[in-house]
Structure 1
């Protein structure tokens, strides 16, 4: 496997060198995609998440603000800022990079090139301690300190709104309590009032599962105050299940049992509608990353193969995570001998090599998701996160996943494939 990783690194740097010698050819390709799209497609949000840590990765994985394809996104969320304990004000999570080096202003400066683009600040994220959110939202005084700080940041950094990313209010293993559910509504109500008075947006990340929705999200009430929900339609399966699986199945499958029978994108979105969320406020998340497993028996490599819980998956060569793999790592794996299969019921691909297994998204699965979204009338789509796309074109066309989403919106309604 180490030899394979070295080969991938050499291949990536060879392709990277070619793209650099070609100058700005990549950007012109993106512009051509945008120029052929009818202006009406801009009415559907395509929300891109910019992950601040991505700029610290070694090349070719390094992803700075200047790589954001502003012509393929309608909104870009900076992930993530935090909440400071005790003061309850907004706080940088990586001050040595984003705040001290002016990354926030550099981030919003991309609107100079893309005037229609909206830039938002996502607050929270999985790494953020939930207890701080619980305390901040617990009293009117604490909430007001947070709101005042938000308004200051919006003005100072020329931001267009806030995306609340609290995973998950009310859930005890995340430090939440039963009071979080009502307090979150109050926070959204008070924050929305101030933001709207200043022409600013409020969006909110929400999960799909009842396990996380029930304790902390009054969807019908929250829907009154947000512009839309960014629906966390991925990480629905994982190593905690003990078997291999794709983590963002679009539809239920015959292999699903128990709670997993409803834990898919289609049923999850319908669950949110039944809880009071208008379809016009549901923006579906699509992951640009895969989740990996180590097989217990390399000859058993299909869906629901038993994983070896004692041996973590091999880290990818660039993101260097033993669990998360960027699409540009996965597409290079496929060029080096991995086998790709497709879950035809869940509409998602997976790949394996030796005792390694990854479930992910590609252009085929994204087309299925976009057809579903357009047919069912949901609001839009967000991608998490665009630094995981093949943004350098290591395997072919740059930003191929994001372009697949963008091009899907160019379809005439009558031309949407009857594949669902």
Structure 2
């Protein structure tokens, strides 16, 4: 019996290593589907993706178990079966948290061994019972030194639990991914990069929301530029800068997926004749935070005869009509970013969110990333 248990463990570990190698040998095209987008999962063209993230499950702030709301229960339980009808090989992950979740709940959960265990065990159980292939952690964001330390501990404990659960159940090990800040430091606080690299299969870097009219109201700017200029007088940040920081922190390129937004932000120009990047502006063009899905932006262009411009230096698109100016990613910038991921040996890219595409124009551009390359661990 002892020999049998040891043999089973060796076999399980070997299968885990094969799974890990396989997951990192394929370049991924990830897409988040937001249950409240108004677009059903059945509408997703899953043939254009390798991984789909079903967003979002919640965390109970009292006992720290992961839950799925009653309004999302049926959508989530059928998600994998639904998207695999068009693409039987697509992998699905249950995403927990998101930008609207309370970061203090994550912080409290990660601070104690018992609450971490409650979260991890319930997340695994929910993923299994709803037929997902993995779990995605979207904590926005760890923001204190203790948060960073605890996130590292949490990451390692989650990986250990996944290995143990797969060994005990005889099922393939679940994937583990996370959505993280644009760079490896959160406003000078270093993320636990070593623990993350050791624990996660996929690290989705949110390379967007660099600028928007609510927090950058006085000048237009690229919401998700790949590169940046040093002479514009604007706050400088770029996707390449963030990706390089993660690599410098010791995270393997073959764990990193760069985020591409299927949305942009609309500013109100002070003068419609001054309509380039960094033009004087007066906040949001349409109220709220000024965000617009790509499909809404294309409708605006069509209805208003807006002029569209691609800036190859920053790798961003923008359009304008009258005093409305919108910064976003279009086919040119998406193609350039996909090539950037390929040329820099990244695991791939992901998008937020699939329902905002326009007749799958952006996703078809990203589909050129679907190919196999040798495993590289750097």
With the length of structure 2 as denominator, give the TM-score of the two structures: 0.85
Q: Confirm whether residue 186 of structure 1 aligns to residue 153 of structure 2.
A: yes
> How many angstroms does 1:213 deviate by?
6.0
- 2:279 counterpart of 1:313: no
User: 2:128 matched to which residue of 1?
Assistant: 155
Check if 1:404 corresponds to 2:365: yes
- Give the direction of change, closer, same or farther, for the CA distance of 1:409–1:154 in structure 2 (3 Å limit): closer
- Tell me if structure 2 keeps the 8 A contact 1:234–1:285: yes
Is the 8 Å Cα contact of residues 310 and 332 (structure 2) preserved in structure 1?
Answer: no
Matched, 1:286 2:282: no
**CA 1:405–1:313 in structure 2 vs 1: closer, same or farther (change >3 Å)?**
same
Cα distance change on mapping 1:215 and 1:383 into 2, 3 Å: same
Please give the secondary structure, in 2, of the residue aligned with 1:299.
Answer: coil
- Whether contact under 8 Å (2:257, 2:346) holds in the other structure is yes
- SS in structure 1 of the partner of residue 47 of structure 2: coil
State the secondary structure of the residue aligned to 1:249. coil
> Which structure would you say has the larger RCO, counting Cα contacts within 8 Å and 6 or more residues apart?
2
Q: Where do residues 315-354 of structure 1 align in structure 2 (5 Å cutoff)?
A: 323-336=290-303, 337-354=305-322
Distance in 2, Cα, partners of 1:326 & 1:259: 24
Alignment of 1:10-409 (within 5 A): 43-55=26-38, 63-92=39-68, 95-99=69-73, 102-110=74-82, 112-113=84-85, 114-170=87-143, 177-197=144-164, 198=166, 199-209=173-183, 212=186, 214-215=188-189, 217-239=191-213, 240-241=215-216, 242-257=218-233, 260=236, 263-309=237-283, 312-314=284-286, 323-336=290-303, 337-390=305-358, 398-409=359-370
CA-CA distance at 1:278 after TM superposition: 0.9
User: CA 1:42/1:291 → structure 2, altered by over 3 Å: closer, same or farther?
Assistant: farther
Q: Secondary structure at the match of 1:142?
A: helix
Contact in 2 for aligned 1:45/1:74 (Cα 8 Å): yes
Q: Is the 8 A contact 2:27 2:372 kept in 1?
A: no
The verdict on how the C-alpha distance between 1:109 and 1:409 changes in structure 2, with shifts beyond 3 A counting, is closer
Per-residue deviation at 1:344?
2.6
Moved over 3 A (4+): 254-259, 408-412
Contact 1:367/1:408 (CA < 8 Å) preserved in 2? Answer: no
- 1:330-350 per-residue CA deviation (whole Å, 9 max, x = no partner) reads 112222211112223102110
Deviation string, structure 1 residues 241-269 (Cα, Å, up to 9, x no partner)? 33111111111224445861xx2111211
| Pairwise CA distance, 1:182 | 0.8
State the Cα deviation string for residues 107-150 of structure 1 (Å, max 9, x = none). 12125423211110111111101110011111101101111111
Structure 1 vs Structure 2 CA RMSD: 2.3
Q: Distance in 2 between matches of 1:211 and 1:217?
A: 5
Report the Cα offset of residue 375 of structure 1: 1.2
CA contact 1:111–1:118 (8 Å) conserved in 2 = no
TM-score (norm 1): 0.76
Conserved 8 A contact 1:180-1:216: no
- For the 8 Å contact 2:44–2:83, the answer to whether it is kept is no
- Give the Å deviation of 1:69: 1.4
Q: How many residues are treated as equivalent by the alignment?
A: 341
Rounded to whole Å, the distance in 2 between the matches of 1:181 and 1:373 is 27
CA–CA separation in structure 2 for the residues paired with 1:365 and 1:98? 33
For the residue of structure 2 that corresponds to 1:403, the secondary structure is helix
Structure 1 alignment gaps of length 5 or more: 1-40, 56-62, 171-176, 316-320, 391-397, 413-420
Instruction: Return closer, same or farther for 1:411/1:277 CA change in 2, 3 Å cut-off.
Output: closer
Gaps of 5+ in 2: 1-23, 167-172, 374-378
